Amino acid sequence: MRTTSMLLAALAAGLGQAQYLINELSFGIDAKLSHDESPGTIPHYHVNGQPNRPDVLSNKVILTPMGIGHQRASIWGERTLQRNDWVADIDFRANGPERASGNLNIWLAKDGRATVQENSVYTVGRFEGLVLVIDQYGGSGGMLRGFLNDGTKDYAHQTNIDALAFGHCQIGYRNLGRPSQIKIHHAAGNFKVEIDGHKCFESSKIAIPQGYTFGITAATPENPDSFEIFKLVVMSETVDPRHAQQQQQQQQGSNDNNNSPHNYEQAAAPGGFDNPDDAFKKVIPDESADVFQTSNRQFADLHNRLQSTYHQLAAVYRSVTAHHAVDEQRHKEVQDMVQNIRADLKRLDKLDSLQRTVESLQREVAGLHDALDRRISSHESSFRGALTDHHRQLSERMVDSIPGHGKLIFILVGTQVVLAGIYVVYKRRKMAGPKKYL
């Protein structure tokens, strides 16, 4: 019973990560990167370079050596990724003089070794998949950018490749004296990239299909940086269905050879269930203690029950993880709703302030209108009084300046009398003068 408790504790502790290492896609996890049987090579990966082949040491791969410019190098896997949820860790280091530069490209591409080869994102042409680029873009000192292509865009003939990036962040990666870690998460429709434990960018609109190949390429100019790769580790929360089927068949045959009374291995094999709920449906039935007469039978029953318990715990973990993801999504939706409500409340506060301002303006305009009416009335009264006085004075002056009827008659009669007298005098003088005879 003590052994059983210890095994259950170990299984429960192992569920904290619930990830399986994919050996055929990983390197750098052993004591030596390159085995003694084939020095200078990496198991399950091809290493190439132009004009020089990269140096494969015991603990790292020097893709681009320092002091040798115009170097291109690549590491491409032999196997394809057959998972929908996975995590990839890449440890790299970049060293170089002050004005050195270069770029490091992390690929997950279809037929990458044949289509991408040793190219960078700036010279690759057409490809299908994902690439993360680390370089000193735009003199920023360090930038990590992500690009996607469905095989329709020819990157080598793009006038502005930078506009095609779907995510980016600034990073410091040169001359740190230590390796930098890039972690790529892809699970449940979510894609996230981290650098040294900090999130770089994340998107829920990216889903990379199966069948792509991991690869790393580097390219340097005349004044180069030295890019070193320490490891590429790929893990997944699921087991390759092909491996799970082989394990089931092997355990099935072993169980038949041992004449086990029940076929428990199919239910207990890792990845043996297409649906996690099957772990609860296929429960090992209880048996009488008299059935287990030998230690092998007892150990087999204990082993099967521990595996069944492990898969039930794994199913619980996956269910809790799924519910946690749903809760996180709902929590995010609630936060968005709260932020929208706060924004609406701020708008309402602005509307109240605007309404108060409008009401104040209405009162001021009404007061101004009343004051203007009073002033206009006062000016109208003053104008009418002044105009009336002016008319009265003008009439008085005109009356004073016009003479009376008597004076007019006297002037007229006097004028006629003067004219008549002048005429009479004129006639008399004419009659009194000497007469002229013809």
Query: Going residue by residue through the chain (438 aa), what tens digit of pLDDT does each one get?
Result: 444 444 444 444 444 444 788 989 999 887 678 776 778 889 999 999 999 999 999 889 999 998 889 999 999 999 999 999 999 999 999 999 988 999 999 999 999 999 999 999 999 999 999 999 999 987 778 999 999 999 999 999 998 898 999 999 999 999 999 999 999 999 877 999 999 999 999 999 999 999 999 999 999 999 999 999 999 999 988 765 555 455 445 445 444 444 433 333 333 333 444 454 555 555 666 666 666 667 677 777 777 788 788 778 888 888 888 888 888 888 888 888 888 888 878 777 777 788 888 888 999 998 898 889 888 988 888 888 888 888 888 887 776 666 666 777 888 888 888 888 888 888 888 777 665 554
Q: Phi and psi of 174, rounded to 5°? A: -95, 135
Closest CA to 71 of 111, 100, 91: 100
Contact 49, 151 (CB under 8 A): no
Q: What is the DSSP string of 113-180?
A: HHHTTT--TTT--EEEEEEEEEE-GGG-S-EEEEEEEEEEEEGGG-S-GGGG-SEEEE---BS-SS-E
Q: What is the DSSP string of 255-287?
A: HHHTT-SS--HHHHSTT--SSTTHHHHSPPPP-
Tokens of 39: 């020095």
Closest CA to 19 of 239, 204, 251, 292: 239
Domains of the chain: 20-238 (2.60.120.200)
- Indicate whether this model's pTM tops 0.75: no
